[in-house]
Amino acid sequence: MDGKKRQPLGVELVKRGIVTEEAIDKALEYQRTHTNKKLGDIISILNLADKASLIEAIGDILGEKTMLLTEKEVKINVIDYISLDVAMQNKVVPFDIIGGKIKVCFADTSNRRAVETVRLLMLNKGLVMDKYITFESNIFNILESLTGEASDTINTNRDISGLIDTIIKTAMEKRASDIHIEPEEENVRVRYRIDGRLVSAATIEKEKQQQIIGRLKAISNMHQEKQDSQDGRILLYPDYNIRVSSQRNVYGEKFVLRLLKKNSDVKRLFELGFPQNDKLVKDAFEKRNCITVIAAPTGEGKTTTLYSIIDLLNSADLNVTTIEDPVEIRIPGLNQIEIDPRIGFTNSLRTVLRQDPDIILVGEIRDNETAEIALQAGQTGHYVLSTIHTIEAVEVVTRLRKMGISDYDISSTLATSVSQRLMRKMCPYCARERDFTDEEIKIINQIGEKYNYTFNLDGKKTYTPVGCQKCNQTGFYDRIAVYEILLVTDKIKDMIASHSSTIDIKKEAMKEGFEPLPIDGINKVLSGITTLEELNNKLLIF
């Protein structure tokens, strides 16, 4: 909230008589251990000045209109104009409308991207944004009051067993993949990861912290007295396998619970967002004597895509074996092996090769030894599918090279490389259709020019995320993947074998019809599945 100024904010506030030098010293001391907090917010948090005078002075210094925002000042239904997700992300609350102008409070007006995002959002609703500044804590107080359903449900529990049970069951109801239980200085925060984004669920009194930790350790089969990092599992819920990780921080022990639903149905490849092109699927995955690799950062759905490919290929005349850590979805007809940490991927893979497999799924290629055995398996009559942590399909070649795999082995064995990212889908219950803005059309055309691709914009509409009960007030419901698929043709094999750079390999692939992630992403935006802003959050395309 400090923005650009001729002198430090603290100096300006002292000169104006808003705070004393001693108060500034206290605020700066607090800021050393709360580096994400701005000075004006800290002065407000510590009650070192009259808040109304403080925000007015800050606004005068920054040249901004101000509002000491409370629930009383909010005259409109916030989620009619902005989804809670967008509001949280940009630290903003629209609070009143006069004529064609909508008054909007920001925690940080120097964040130009946030200001422009909200300005365009309001413009698309036919409203001109009237910008104000307030304290970040005021913003979050308003927004948390709008997400109070889960918090109220959680905090009605008086006993710790009931509290933890409600936290977990509420997460399941809200389709959360993870639960974060985080000790803070003054309370314990609970957040859910829903459709890839963390959202606040509840704040619990600090006094309950040790009881919460004790209960989580008890049901996760962890050592009570140990405060170092631990891993455990909760097996109390018949439909879920819950993996638990603890990590000590400066305020206690943080827990992350990963909710893995047992016996989930495997989604078909096209349901995941894979291009609906039967020939492409055949060319990419109906293989023998080679390896297919799915590449993406952590949490982008690589394993889900692997399951869908396996489900597509699985038949009674094939011996399909998977090596996973852990087995996330059980599929009839497959031999699924969960890794014993004492044995590891490499030794498990060696054993599987003696079990006469036709298709082998290796959860992840993470080191030279696993990579070598996986590629050898692909060279000796097996079809191997695996994942690798890298950002682009072409960069799989670089990653394997860095693991010490020879260019000859890569070129002779790698058949298909797929990269993907998960985008949140528009909520079908509350999304509002609108025209693309001139700026959005310009961005789309620039992406097309960059990749020599023509997008069909005729009659296309996009949508504004609104928020409703179905989507937890985020405006998004579920996720879909955007893909790029590299088919390793004879020409590309020759380039890999002759040590060509991945830049040159990508250029050749583009000539042969390879479409990078932004192409599939823009096409999904034009189909109304997701938004340009959501795509940019993942790929930074503009």
Phi, psi of 534 (to 5 degrees): -65, -40
Q: What is the pLDDT of residue 282?
A: 94
Over residues 193-201, the mean pLDDT reads 89
Mean pLDDT, the chain, rounded, equals: 90
Q: Rounded to whole angstroms, how far apart are CA atoms 513 and 530?
A: 24
Q: Which pLDDT tens digit goes with each residue over 482-511? A: 999 999 999 999 999 999 999 999 999 999
Does residue 80 have a pLDDT over 90? Answer: no
Cα end-to-end span (Å), the chain? 25
Q: What is the pLDDT of residue 265?
A: 73
Over residues 509-538, the mean pLDDT reads 95
Neighbours of 498 (CB within 10 A): 10
DSSP H or E run through 351? helix 344-353
Does residue 220 have a pLDDT over 90? Answer: yes
Place of tokens 């995320």: 465
Q: What are the start-end ranges of the E strands in 30-186? A: 65-66, 92-98, 101-106, 128-133, 178-183
Q: Which pLDDT tens digit goes with each residue over 100-123? A: 899 999 999 999 888 998 998 888
Q: What is the pLDDT of residue 2?
A: 47
Quick check: bond before 326 cis, omega within 30? yes
Over residues 304-311, the mean pLDDT reads 93
Asked if 346 contacts 374 with a C-beta cutoff of 8 angstroms, the reply is no
Q: What is the pLDDT of residue 318?
A: 92
Q: What is the pLDDT of residue 155?
A: 73
Place of tokens 């974060």: 180
Q: Which pLDDT tens digit goes with each residue over 426-457? A: 999 888 889 999 999 999 999 999 999 999 99
Over residues 41-61, the mean pLDDT reads 92
- pLDDT band, very low/low/confident/very high, at 396 (cuts 50, 70, 90): very high
- Listed in sequence order, the residues at least 6 apart from 465 whose beta carbon sits closer than 8 Å to its beta carbon are 83, 85, 86, 426, 427, 430, 431, 474, 475, 476, 531
Q: What is the pLDDT of residue 126?
A: 85
Q: Which pLDDT tens digit goes with each residue over 3-30? A: 444 578 889 899 999 999 999 999 998 8
Q: Rounded to whole angstroms, how far apart are CA atoms 516 and 93?
A: 36
Asked if 192 contacts 174 with a C-beta cutoff of 8 angstroms, the reply is yes
Q: Rounded to whole angstroms, how far apart are CA atoms 201 and 180?
A: 10
CA-CA-CA-CA dihedral for 324, 327, 329, 332, to nearest 10: 80
pTM over 0.85: no
Q: What is the pLDDT of residue 148?
A: 59
Asked if 106 contacts 115 with a C-beta cutoff of 8 angstroms, the reply is yes
Q: Which pLDDT tens digit goes with each residue over 248-288? A: 999 999 999 999 887 777 888 999 999 999 999 999 999 98
All structural domains of the chain, each given as residue ranges with its CATH number in brackets, are 9-143 (3.30.300.160), 147-261 (3.30.450.90), 269-539 (3.40.50.300)
Q: What is the CA radius of gyration of the chain?
A: 26
